[in-house]
Amino acid sequence: MARVALVTGGSRGIGAAISVALKEAGYQVAANYAGNDQAANEFSKQTGIPVFKFSVAEFDACKEGVAKVEAELGPIDVLVNNAGITRDTSFSKMTPEQWREVMATNLDSLFFMSKCVFDGMKKRGFGRIITIGSVNGQKGQFGQTNYAAAKAGAAGFTKSLAQEGARSNITVNVVAPGYIGTDMVKAVPQEVLNAKVLPQIPVGRLGEPEEIGRCVVFLASDDAGFITGSTLTANGGQYMT
Ligand code: CAA
């Protein structure tokens, strides 16, 4: 039986590439999305990957969403916490709402989603929880006190849950991408990208979403069973850990 993988924010950007990479690697994949029905339906039509709409920022919605996925595809073996948002602005201008929105979607969601699948993984004696972090959670970024705090939080969450899952063959890891050519990065003003970001990337280009998809497929595989609590960085050399 093919293993079941759920990718949050899995119908666009890096998430879409992860969903497709997992499908190509033989998984039964479910892609979660929150808002953009049109993009999600197009993605589903193109790839044959079913989509499930719910907000990862609300615990009850996660519980319902995961139950629906499991009813249709079976128990979740691989959870990819990819859904994330930015509300970039300098700290002086940042509102409590901009802080809270980013914390809810990017950090609370890790607790909510993992909570829904962890005990089942434990019972079955296998699981993979992979969270998409960020180079900016590792090095900090002007305009991202909220986002960097959430992404750094993901690493602490991961190292702790990894210890709790280890005896049950559940690995918990982070993939920390650098700047990848997606809508999120395209939202950064072009002059900031050219003057401040690209010169910091030794390989001299943005990453491709598929390059992150391959990292996730590796960490999800049996071959990666001895890797847990770890962060795999894929950032073109922008920040070397
Ligand atoms: N270092 C130092 N100064 C900087 C700076 C930096 N990295 N970036 C901007 N500034 C300066 C500007 O030059 C400007 O200076 P002047 O006033 O002297 O002209 C000043 O800061 C702007 O300050 P403001 O308070 O007006 O800032 P703002 O609230 O308008 O915010 C910004 C500007 C939104 C932070 C904008 O600079 C920006 O978008 N920066 C890029 C942030 C970024 O890289 N986000 C990553 C998005 S992609 C992602 O998140 C995916 C991932 O995981 C990698």
Active site residue 33: no
* Domain contains 126: yes
Instruction: Indicate if ligand 1 lies below 6 Å from the C-beta of 142.
Output: yes
Instruction: Indicate if ligand 1 lies below 6 Å from the C-beta of 188.
Output: yes
The domain that holds 32 is classified in CATH as 3.40.50.720
What is the pLDDT, as a whole number, of residue 19? Answer: 98
Q: Which of 14, 28, 12, 9 is nearest to 220 (CA)?
A: 28
Give the count of alpha carbons within 13 A of 171, CB side only. Answer: 18
Give the mutation target among 85, 98, 141, 142 for probing the ligand 1 site: most ligand atoms within 8 A of CB: 142
Banded pLDDT at 1 (limits 50, 70, 90): confident
State in Å: Cα 91 to ligand 1 middle: 10
* Domain contains 128: yes
HEC per residue, 118-185: HHHHHHHCCEEEEEECCHHHHHCCCCCHHHHHHHHHHHHHHHHHHHHHHHHCEEEEEEEECCECCHHH
* Domain contains 190: no
Q: By three-state DSSP, how is residue 2 classified?
A: coil
Torsion of CA 29, 30, 32, 37, to 10 degrees: 110
Print burial letters for 66-103: b (CB count within 10 Å at least 16), e (below 16): beebbeebebbbbbbbbbbbbbbeeeeebeeebbebbb
* Domain contains 177: yes
pLDDT, tens digit, 9 for 90 and up, residues 32-41 = 999 999 999 9
Tokens of 167: 């005896």
Instruction: Indicate if ligand 1 lies below 6 Å from the C-beta of 238.
Output: no
Q: By three-state DSSP, how is residue 204 classified?
A: coil
* Domain contains 195: no
How many domains is the chain partitioned into structurally? 1
Q: Which of 27, 33, 147, 179 is flagged as catalytic?
A: 147
pLDDT, tens digit, 9 for 90 and up, residues 207-217 = 999 999 999 99
Domain extent, residue 124, equals: 4-181+209-234
DSSP summary character for residue 75: S
* Domain contains 187: no
Q: Which helix (H) or strand (E) holds 231?
A: strand 231-234
pLDDT, tens digit, 9 for 90 and up, residues 46-74 = 999 999 999 999 999 999 999 999 999 99
What is the pLDDT, as a whole number, of residue 120? Answer: 98
The pTM assigned to this predicted structure is 0.96
Banded pLDDT at 204 (limits 50, 70, 90): very high
CA distance 61 to 55: 6
Beta bridge partners of 141: none
* Domain contains 164: yes
Q: What is the mean pLDDT of the chain?
A: 97
* Domain contains 199: no
What is the pLDDT, as a whole number, of residue 27? Answer: 98
pLDDT, tens digit, 9 for 90 and up, residues 89-138 = 999 999 999 999 999 999 999 999 999 999 999 999 999 999 999 999 99
Average pLDDT value for residue range 172-182? 97
Query: Which residue CA neighbors atom 53 of ligand 1 most closely?
Result: 134
Measured from the Cα of 92, ligand 1's closest atom is 25
Measured from the Cα of 86, ligand 1's closest atom is 50
State in Å: Cα 184 to ligand 1 middle: 14
> Which distant-in-sequence residues (6+ apart) come within 8 Å of 217 by Cβ?
21, 22, 25
State in Å: Cα 239 to ligand 1 middle: 18
Beta bridge partners of 81: 131
Instruction: Indicate if ligand 1 lies below 6 Å from the C-beta of 135.
Output: yes
Instruction: Indicate if ligand 1 lies below 6 Å from the C-beta of 94.
Output: no
